């Protein structure tokens, strides 16, 4: 899977990279402003092929905005985004999708007038241009993908008849059906109960096992710790911390950003009493 045969030259030496992997996706000083507010402010990020990277951060930290920058929904106000070494900044969303960058929406957005199978087929019919398919094959791919996410039995149902967890599965199915090399998941676990989260985790692992790089936004820490190789923390549009999930989540600045300064102090005090941690 890896393409590490070519010599890897670090562009930003201070950024750690999981393994000696050539970055598949690289963000260089990515900035997006709305009026005077910088929702994403000079974010540097490298994602290696085959990685599962988690993005966490408090509400309004710019997580979804960052995904919108990558998928071409927003034009950048500064910086550059490189895919397999070539700049994709300013590219139209459908072109980014055809390069093999699939995504889901935080609030699910299925094609409401269609069945689950048709939704997935639309993804297969368009999507990655290096594996373009005709309608017949697209429906075959749709069936495979629906089986992968556990929706096979409900393939023929209209979207309106699906439960919320099932709609989230469908959202992932449609993105996976585009045969992405990189999958951007925007809070696919939000609003699910524990059992459903376990199922969703299995689903992400299964998709990842087919060779897909995964970049996911999540508030559920169990998910971040459970499947991510690496996590970055965004706060006010900047990268606050980056590293192994367990380490990042114990970072005092991260706790402060999430829970406030006083809580962080109290936690530090209690940690001192314990003598460890």
Partner 1 sequence: MANFVQLVILGLLAGGVYVAVGVGFGLVWGVLNIVNLAHGGLVIVGGYITWQLFTALHLDPFLTLPVNAVALFVLGYALQRGVINRIIRAPLLFTFLLTFGLNLVIINILLLIFGSDFRSVTPTYSGQGLEFGSVVIPYVSLTSLGAALLLAAALAFILNRTRIGLAINAIAADRDAAQLVGIDLRHAYAVTFGLGAACAGVAGGLIAMIQAITPTAGEPYTLQAFVVVILGGLGRVSATVVGGLAFGLVEAFGQSIPGSGSVFANAIAFGLMVLVLVTRPQGLMGRLR
Comparison of 154 and 174: residue with beta carbon closer to partner 1: 174
Q: Tokens 């373009």 appear where? A: 132
The region of 7-15, 35-43, 75-83, 103-111 touching partner 1 under the rule CB under 8 A is 103-111
The region of 9-17, 48-56, 96-104, 225-233 touching partner 1 under the rule CB under 8 A is 96-104
Of 24, 44, 64, 71, the residue at the interface with partner 1 (CB under 8 A) is 71
Which run of H or of E encompasses 86?
strand 86-87
Distances (CA, A) of 57 to 79, 189, 217, 236, 276: 21, 15, 9, 9, 26
Comparison of 51 and 118: residue with beta carbon closer to partner 1: 118
Told to check if 63 binds partner 1 by CB under 8 A, we report no
Binding residues for partner 1, total number by CB under 8 A: 31
The region of 10-18, 87-95, 144-152, 248-256 touching partner 1 under the rule CB under 8 A is 87-95
Which run of H or of E encompasses 263?
helix 261-274
To the nearest whole angstrom, how small is the minimum distance from the Cβ of residue 110 to partner 1?
8
Longest dimension (CA), the chain: 65
To the nearest whole angstrom, how small is the minimum distance from the Cβ of residue 124 to partner 1?
9
To the nearest whole angstrom, how small is the minimum distance from the Cβ of residue 210 to partner 1?
18
Residues 170-229 that bind partner 1 (CB under 8 A): 174-175, 177-178
Told to check if 65 binds partner 1 by CB under 8 A, we report no
In three-state secondary structure terms, 158 is strand
Q: Tell how far CA 225 is from the center of its chain.
A: 15
Told to check if 263 binds partner 1 by CB under 8 A, we report no
Over 17-81, what HEC string results? Answer: CCCCCCEEEEEEEEEEEECCEEEEEEEEEEEECCCEEEEECCCCCCHHHHHHHHCCCCCCCEEEE
To the nearest whole angstrom, how small is the minimum distance from the Cβ of residue 182 to partner 1?
13
The region of 22-30, 40-48, 102-110, 201-209 touching partner 1 under the rule CB under 8 A is 102-110
Told to check if 110 binds partner 1 by CB under 8 A, we report yes
To the nearest whole angstrom, how small is the minimum distance from the Cβ of residue 91 to partner 1?
12
Angle at CA of residue 261, ends 258 and 267, nearest 5° = 85
Of 112, 194, 273, 274, the residue at the interface with partner 1 (CB under 8 A) is 112
Cβ contact 92:98 at 8 Å:
no
To the nearest whole angstrom, how small is the minimum distance from the Cβ of residue 10 to partner 1?
31
Instruction: Tell me how far apart the alpha carbons of residues 139 and 68 are, in angstroms, rounded to a whole number.
Output: 28
Two structure tokens written together for 255: 């706790």
Instruction: Tell me how far apart the alpha carbons of residues 171 and 185 are, in angstroms, rounded to a whole number.
Output: 9
Instruction: Tell me how far apart the alpha carbons of residues 66 and 187 are, in angstroms, rounded to a whole number.
Output: 13
Binding mask 114-153 for partner 1 (x = CB under 8 A): x---x--xxx-xxxxx----xx------------------
Instruction: Tell me how far apart the alpha carbons of residues 224 and 230 are, in angstroms, rounded to a whole number.
Output: 8
State the residues that interact with partner 1 by CB under 8 A. Answer: 71, 73, 92-94, 97-98, 102-103, 105, 109-114, 118, 121-123, 125-129, 134-135, 174-175, 177-178
């Amino acid at each position: 899977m890896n393409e590490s045969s070519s010599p890897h030259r670090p562009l930003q030496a201070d950024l750690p990279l999981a393994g000696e992997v050539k970055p598949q996706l690289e963000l260089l000083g990515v900035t997006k402003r709305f009026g005077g507010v910088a929702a994403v402010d000079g974010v540097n990020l490298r994602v290696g092929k085959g990685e599962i990277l988690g993005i966490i951060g408090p509400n309004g930290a710019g997580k979804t905005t960052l995904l919108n920058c990558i998928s071409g929904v927003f034009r950048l106000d500064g910086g550059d985004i490189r895919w397999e070494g070539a700049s994709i900044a300013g590219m139209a969303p459908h072109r980014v999708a055809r390069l093999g960058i699939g995504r889901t929406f935080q609030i699910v957005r299925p094609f409401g007038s269609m069945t689950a199978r048709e939704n997935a087929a639309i993804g297969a019919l368009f999507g990655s241009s290096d594996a373009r398919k005709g309608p017949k094959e697209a429906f075959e791919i749709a069936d495979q993908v629906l089986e992968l996410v556990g929706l096979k039995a409900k393939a023929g149902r209209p979207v309106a008849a699906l439960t919320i967890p099932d709609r989230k599965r469908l959202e992932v199915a449609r993105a996976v059906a585009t045969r992405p090399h990189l999958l951007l998941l925007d809070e696919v676990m939000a609003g699910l109960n524990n059992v459903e989260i376990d199922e969703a985790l299995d689903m992400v692992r299964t998709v990842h096992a087919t060779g897909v790089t995964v970049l996911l936004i999540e508030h559920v820490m169990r998910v971040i710790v459970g499947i991510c190789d690496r996590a970055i923390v965004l706060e006010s549009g900047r990268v606050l911390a980056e590293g192994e999930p367990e380490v990042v989540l114990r970072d005092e600045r991260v706790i402060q950003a999430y829970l406030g300064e006083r809580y962080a102090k109290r936690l530090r005090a209690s940690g001192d009493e314990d003598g460890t941690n």
